[in-house]
């Protein structure tokens, strides 16, 4: 079987391989193996121009299908008896969908073998700074940057001293000096070493440099009869700390709040087959429901007929007419926040035909219209179950701010989100929106009216911004408990 020397390949092929392997977070040799495999299976990527990987500092954690985004860790295993726990750590990280690439210091190889580490990580193991295979494509730089976090476990006193002083005379210390990723250290050493003034200085320096430490714990040492602070944290503790750094908890400012939202148009029947409708797509209301849900709220969305899928984790009540919408809104109370984004038809047909209306020589039958209930005004004026924060929308085609201000007073709501829906704006049915938030200063009933104009944004961004304002306003305010 012929062997291939990557160094002897054409410059442009080498560049292609370097970039592609960096993008896919593989070594160059592994990338070549994958390309050959794909060629054989007939699934090759064309050797056409490709986009270079983004700058290391901007590299996002790759999103894969599955419950959690996959993340990558470079795990540096230092030379100490606790190195055996790092084998369990690899397993614990992998079960959290974290890819692990391992580096073993020279001393670590006295405690665990590269073979065992490679078998558990399913990756090749890196041991030498001057390894011609990996250094051909600047291995220590790739190991330092093609990950989302560097974990050092066990972090020996020597490794910490090197790191605190910026040494780079082996692969592990070179990676730690070359990285711009967060570093998590799990120190493990004899209690006297941990308490030594030099180690204390190094620990203080590393903390100042932004390095995160987990442990050490106190307990018995491997050395007979010795105990104290110096035992490496358990693998599960280190994996949990790593995961917290990789996937910080998402803030949920609306946790415990119930949010009621209306969205979409209403259909007002003329007869069993015809109706009066408007051009509302429901996109803005649905985006608000999704943003409120993501902020931790319990969300009830009452929607008119729309062509959108139900947002995940939201209770959706589908209705047709304004009267059905009001019924569902009333049934959903009490709520902490109510946001009325629906484009409710102002009128309905009074004499709805039971059968399809027929053409006749007498011409078109007269359509008698009656006013629909105003859901926003009805809920705003409730005395018992009025949500503490009621928000209306004002879709206008002229005198936007003036109309919205008078709507705020007339409807009795707390805020109005006003937007210009003139056909030229493309807001109706489109993906972007330019809104103005109209409220009373300090949320006082007779307070001066404030207008906060936001730049043009996607409807999702408007939703996130609105939910952030809501969260700021309602913190601490709660609805009356349900009777």
Interacting residues toward ligand C5P by CB under 6 A: 262, 322, 340, 342, 344, 346, 372, 374-376, 392-394, 407
Bridge partners of 240, per DSSP, are none
Residue nearer to ligand C5P on the CB measure, 177 or 377: 377
Task: Tell me whether residue 278 is one of the annotated catalytic residues.
Answer: yes
Closest CB 342 distance from ligand C5P, rounded Å: 4
Residue nearer to ligand C5P on the CB measure, 30 or 346: 346
Q: Beta strand 389-396 with 432-433: parallel, antiparallel or unpaired?
A: unpaired
CA 108, 112, 116, 122: dihedral to nearest 10 degrees? -30
| Whole-angstrom distance, CA of residue 365 vs CA of residue 368 | 9
Residue nearer to ligand C5P on the CB measure, 102 or 342: 342
Bridge partners of 74, per DSSP, are 101, 150
Bridge partners of 265, per DSSP, are 343
Closest CB 47 distance from ligand C5P, rounded Å: 55
**Residue 210 preceded by cis peptide, ω within 30:** no
Q: Of 190, 196, 278, 403, which residue is the catalytic one?
A: 278
Residue nearer to ligand C5P on the CB measure, 202 or 266: 266
Cβ contacts of 442 within 8 Å, gap of 6 or more: none
Q: Beta strand 212-213 with 258-263: parallel, antiparallel or unpaired?
A: unpaired
Closest CB 337 distance from ligand C5P, rounded Å: 14
Closest CB 149 distance from ligand C5P, rounded Å: 46
Residue 372 Cα distances to 76, 231, 344, 349, 432, angstroms: 68, 72, 8, 9, 29
Bridge partners of 361, per DSSP, are none
| Whole-angstrom distance, CA of residue 70 vs CA of residue 475 | 34
DSSP string covering 313-337, please?
A: T-EEEE-SSHHHHHHHHHHH---SE
Residue nearer to ligand C5P on the CB measure, 232 or 463: 463
Nearest to 143 by CA among 117, 185, 105, 179: 179
Number of neighbouring beta carbons within 10 Å of residue 376: 25
Closest CB 372 distance from ligand C5P, rounded Å: 5
Angle subtended by helix axes 83-95 and 114-121, to nearest 10: 10
Residue nearer to ligand C5P on the CB measure, 53 or 264: 264
389 in Cβ contact with 470 (< 8 Å): yes
Residue nearer to ligand C5P on the CB measure, 244 or 381: 381
Positions marked active-site: 278
């Amino acid at each position: 079987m012929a062997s291939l020397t990557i160094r002897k390949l054409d410059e442009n092929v080498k560049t292609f391989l370097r970039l592609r392997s960096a993008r896919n977070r593989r070594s160059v040799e592994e990338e070549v193996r994958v390309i050959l495999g794909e060629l054989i299976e007939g699934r090759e990527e064309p050797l056409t121009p490709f986009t270079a990987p983004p700058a290391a500092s901007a590299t996002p954690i790759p999103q894969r299908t599955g419950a959690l985004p996959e993340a990558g860790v470079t795990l540096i295993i230092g030379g100490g008896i606790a190195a055996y726990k790092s084998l369990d750590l690899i397993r614990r990280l992998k079960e959290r969908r974290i890819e692990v690439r391992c580096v073993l210091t020279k001393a670590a190889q006295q405690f665990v073998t590269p073979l065992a580490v490679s078998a558990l990580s399913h990756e090749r193991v890196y041991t030498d700074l001057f390894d011609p295979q990996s250094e051909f494509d600047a291995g220590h730089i790739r190991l330092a940057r093609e990950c989302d976090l560097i974990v050092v476990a066990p972090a020996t006193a020597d490794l910490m001293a090197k790191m605190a002083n910026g040494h780079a005379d082996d692969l592990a210390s070179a990676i730690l000096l070359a990285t711009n990723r967060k570093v998590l250290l799990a120190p493990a050493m004899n209690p006297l070493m941990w308490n030594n003034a030099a180690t204390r200085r190094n620990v203080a320096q590393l903390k100042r440099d932004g390095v995160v430490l987990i442990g050490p714990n106190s307990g018995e040492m491997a050395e007979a009869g010795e105990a104290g602070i110096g035992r490496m944290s358990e693998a599960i503790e280190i994996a949990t700390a790593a995961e917290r750094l990789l996937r910080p908890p998402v803030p949920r400012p609306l946790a415990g709040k119930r949010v009621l939202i209306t969205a979409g148009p209403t259909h007002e029947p003329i007869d069993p087959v015809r109706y009066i409708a408007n051009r509302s797509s429901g996109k803005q209301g649905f985006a608000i429901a999704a943003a409120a849900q993501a902020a931790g709220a319990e969300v009830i969305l009452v929607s008119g007929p729309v062509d959108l899928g139900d947002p995940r984790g939201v209770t959706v009540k589908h209705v047709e007419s304004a009267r059905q919408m009001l019924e569902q809104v009333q049934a959903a109370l009490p709520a902490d926040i109510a946001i009325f984004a629906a484009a409710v038809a102002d009128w309905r047909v009074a004499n709805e035909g039971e059968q399809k209306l027929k053409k006749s020589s007498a011409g078109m039958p007269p359509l008698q219209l009656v006013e629909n209930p105003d859901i926003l005004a009805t809920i705003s004026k409730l005395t018992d179950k009025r949500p503490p924060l009621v928000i209306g929308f004002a879709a206008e085609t002229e005198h936007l701010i003036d109309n919205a201000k008078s709507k705020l007073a007339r409807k009795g709501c707390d805020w109005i989100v006003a937007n210009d829906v003139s056909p030229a704006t493309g807001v109706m049915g489109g993906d972007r929106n330019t809104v103005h938030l109209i409220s009373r200063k300090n949320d006082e009933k007779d307070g001066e009216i404030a207008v906060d104009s936001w730049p043009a944004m996607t409807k999702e961004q408007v939703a996130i911004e609105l939910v952030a304002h809501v969260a700021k306003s309602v913190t601490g305010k709660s609805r009356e408990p349900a009777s």
